[in-house]
Amino acid sequence: MALYDHTARLTTGEQESLAAYRGQALLIVNVASKFGFTSQYKGLQALHEQYALRGFAVLAFPCDQVGHQEPGSDQEIAAFCDRSYGVTFPVFAKIEVNGPRAHPLYVWLKQQKGGLLGSGIKWNFTKFLIDKVGSVRARFAPTTAPEGLSRDVAALARGGSGSSYSPITGFPA
């Protein structure tokens, strides 16, 4: 299975195929509205705005599985993102990222890039950077601020999956 074989439900209830993002660099992030890193929404929105015209998108996947940090409904999550951060990138319906009910996209992402302590997602705001051909290029820990990813995003938005790409490693997720 590849990235573009996955589908996910948006907070609006619509199913969306990730094939809709073919040819774009992506930053896929599990997010939460009641977490110490929730303010990263601001940086994610800034990245999305800065690079969207060059073929880049942030995809947010709310998750309540890690510390009960996303208790709201899909509609409440969407309203929070809009009201608090003016989010214009896609926000998908709440999912699980670990365990037997983990969304198939996250099962695949974790198979592609494990973290320092194994493949499981330890906290919200773990980030996966995907190149324009759908390959996972890097995984970043929640402590890696979106602002710190600008160089990596620019490289992928500019050239796709070229061998000159060198991700910032930060703390392993």
What pLDDT shows up at residue 45?
Answer: 98
Query: Is pLDDT larger for residue 117 or for residue 140?
Result: 140
Domain contains 172: no
> Among residues of the chain, what percentage have pLDDT more than 90?
82
What pLDDT shows up at residue 18?
Answer: 98
Domain contains 81: yes
Taking the CA atoms of residue 55, residue 26, residue 79 and residue 5 in that order, the dihedral angle to the nearest 10 degrees is: 110
Domain contains 173: no
Domain contains 167: no
35 DSSP 8-state letter:
S
Domain contains 168: no
Mean residue pLDDT across the chain: 90
Domain contains 101: yes
Domain contains 170: no
What pLDDT shows up at residue 3?
Answer: 97
CATH code for the domain of 83: 3.40.30.10
Encode pLDDT of 26-65 as tens digits: 999 999 999 889 999 999 999 999 999 999 999 999 999 9
What pLDDT shows up at residue 119?
Answer: 82
Q: How far apart are CA 22 and CA 167, in angstroms?
A: 21
β-partners of residue 8 are 16
Domain contains 56: yes
Range of the domain at 58: 3-159
At position 96, the amino acid (one-letter code) is E
- Asked if residue 107 lies in contact with residue 27, where contact means CB atoms within 8 angstroms, the answer is no
Domain total for the chain?
Answer: 1
What pLDDT shows up at residue 117?
Answer: 65
